[in-house]
Amino acid sequence: MALIKTRQEINRILQGGKIIGGILEELSKMVKPGISTAFIDAAAERLIVAAGGKPAFKNYKNHPHDNPFPSTICASLNDEIVHGIAREDVVLKEGDVFKIDIGMEWPVGNKNSSGYFTDTALTVVVGRKISKETQKLLEVTAGALEVGIKAAKPGNTVADIGRAIQSYVESQGTYGIVRDLVGHGVGHAVHEDPMIPNYYDRKMEKIVLKPGMVIAIEPMISLGDWQVESGADGWTIVMSDGSNCAHFEHTVVITDKGNKVATRRPAEGA
């Protein structure tokens, strides 16, 4: 069941989203050959803490017995689609496809109340060497996010978001739309109901979007098949066929008139 946020809570989510959008843009500017993913990760944590927030992913557990996630960002390269761990020994090189996924709880420090969560991601190519097919992959995935956002309005269903994304991606060529990983509600926690698939799912017709809902829409698209598997570290999710892939994400607030994208980066405009 989706949580409806109050006006005060939504204002906090919009404030935090603006901050994390700016931080993600700053991180993207640091991406270049020779930089380790741990360097980007350390900068992410420093910027979040300086803004009065707390990393949402660091020490996160799917289940109580799991090892906690060790980094602030999910740093996923090439055929890694999500949940890659930032590491000193993973150094970016020319032509890598680098996905930065980042979440923040904001504000923190008040013992009487918790902060609110926002979640956002982008994909960048390291350096200047990029194939036409990789360039189009990024354009299609970013475009799929925008199409999904347009469908996220009151009265529509979660299924409408998935239908819009799937129809758009399939109109652009042959791509794999990841099915085992989906978007989600967000706000009081980093992951909430409902699930937000990036493909049409008839079961999602029963979940109607209402003002006050806050969701993370995050298309995950590959140049090959849609199937994924877990990496050896227990966190990183990779494309089963080894294909390059892309991931873009925004936190979106459903409003009376449509929606507000909380995590827009400054370069994207309003």
Q: 82, 77, 107: which is closest to 92 by C-alpha?
A: 77
Give the confidence band of 36 by pLDDT, cuts at 50, 70, 90. Answer: very high
**Does any domain span residue 256?**
yes
Residue 111: its pLDDT value, please? 65
Q: Are 200 and 166 in contact (CB under 8 A)?
A: yes
pLDDT at residue 97 in the model: 98
First vs last C-alpha separation in the chain: 29
Q: Cβ contacts of residue 98 below 8 Å, gap of 6+?
A: 31, 37, 75, 76, 77, 92, 123, 124, 125, 126
The string of pLDDT tens digits covering residues 124-160 is 999 988 999 999 999 999 999 999 999 999 999 999 9
* Residue 1 resides in a domain: no
Q: Residue 268 domain-assigned?
A: no
pLDDT at 65: 85
Contacts of 157 (CB under 8 A, 6+ apart): 204, 205, 206, 207, 208, 209
Quick one: what percent of the chain has pLDDT higher than 90? 93
Residue 253 domain-assigned (yes or no): yes
Q: Closest by alpha carbon to 166, among 143, 192, 185?
A: 143
> Exposed (0-12), middle (13-18) or buried (19+): which is 176, by Cβ within 10 Å?
buried
Full domain range(s) for residue 76? 7-262
Least confident interval from 10-19, 56-65, 175-184, 244-253? 56-65
pLDDT band per the 50, 70, 90 thresholds, residue 270:
low
- Residue 172 within a domain: yes
pLDDT tens per residue, range 61-118: 888 888 899 999 999 999 999 999 999 999 999 999 999 999 999 999 766 668 999 9
CA distance 254 to 256: 7
The band of 1, judged by pLDDT with boundaries at 50, 70 and 90, is: low
**Greatest CA span in the chain, whole angstroms?**
52
Per-residue model confidence (pLDDT) at position 3: 84
- Residue from 141, 252, 187, 140 nearest 8 by CA: 187
pLDDT tens by residue, 182-238: 999 999 999 999 999 999 999 999 999 999 999 999 999 999 999 999 999 999 999
Q: Look at residue 260 in the predicted model and tell me its pLDDT.
A: 98
Report the number of distinct structural domains present in the chain. Answer: 1
Establish if 267 belongs to a structural domain: no
Residue 150 lies in a domain: yes
In a domain, 270, yes or no: no
Phi/psi for 164 (5° steps) reads -65, -45
Q: Is 50 helix (H, G, I), strand (E, B) or coil?
A: helix
**Residues 23-40, buried b or exposed e (16+ Cβ, 10 A)?**
bbbebbeebeeebbbbbb
Is the peptide bond preceding residue 194 cis, with omega within 30 degrees of 0?
yes
Quote the pLDDT of residue 5.
97
Any residues with CB less than 8 A from the CB of 243 and at least 6 apart, and which?
Answer: 79, 176, 222, 223, 224, 225
pTM beyond cutoff 0.95:
yes
Using the structure block, give the residue that is written with the tokens 């929606």.
259
CATH number at residue 147: 3.90.230.10
pLDDT at 256 over 90: yes
